Amino acid sequence: MSHDTPDNLRYTKEHEWARDNGDGTVTVGVTDYAQDALGDVTYVELPDVGTEVAAGDTFGVVESVKTFSDLYAPVSGEVTDANQAVVDAPETINESAYGDGWLVTIKLSDASELDGLMDAKAYVAFVESND
């Protein structure tokens, strides 16, 4: 089964993606693979703006009809935006995992952490090795 995996993003083993916005911030969401595995998303919990997160820390929860999953920060920094639209309409994650279904924006405290994340090719290989 083929999932959408944009080349311009970085990926984690917890199936989050990170988009470098070029201004010291990254936008974070869950991958197409993750939203497909979760099924219909019914609830999203996100941190407040101003929350400090460390790479690998839990920053929220996604619940679906099948299961629930913690959300893990791909990078360290301060949450500068949280997508209220996905809290109000969680199914947006299923409909647009890389677009309107984004979760948070984080102001990077260490830009080099982005380099430690997988590129699209590595993420696809990781997913296929676990399927």
For residue 92, give the CATH number of its domain: 2.40.50.100
* pLDDT of amino acid 23: 97
Q: Domains in the chain: how many in total?
A: 1
Is residue 4 assigned to a domain?
A: no
Q: Per the domain annotation, does 67 fall within a domain?
A: yes
Residue 2 lies in a domain: no
Are the beta carbons of 11 and 17 closer than 8 angstroms? yes
Q: Is residue 52 part of a domain?
A: yes
Burial (Cβ within 10 Å: 0-12, 13-18, ≥19) of residue 128: exposed
pTM of the model: 0.95
**Listed residue (32, 1, 34) closest to 96, CA to CA:** 32
Q: Does 1 map to a domain?
A: no
Q: Does residue 97 lie within any of the structural domains?
A: yes
Q: What is the pLDDT of residue 131?
A: 75
Residue 107, pLDDT score: 98
CA dist., res. 5 & res. 7, Å (int): 6
Residue 131 lies in a domain: no
Question: 8-42 b/e with 16+ CB inside 10 Å = b?
Answer: ebbbbebbbbbbbeeeebbbbbbbbbbbebbeebe
Q: Kindly state whether residue 130 falls inside one of the protein's structural domains.
A: no
* Ordered per-residue pLDDT tens for the chain, 131 residues: 468 899 999 999 999 999 999 999 999 999 999 999 999 999 999 999 999 999 999 999 999 999 999 999 999 999 999 999 999 999 999 999 999 999 999 999 999 999 999 999 999 999 999 87
The pLDDT score that the predictor gives to residue 69 is 94
Domain of residue 91: give its range. Answer: 10-125
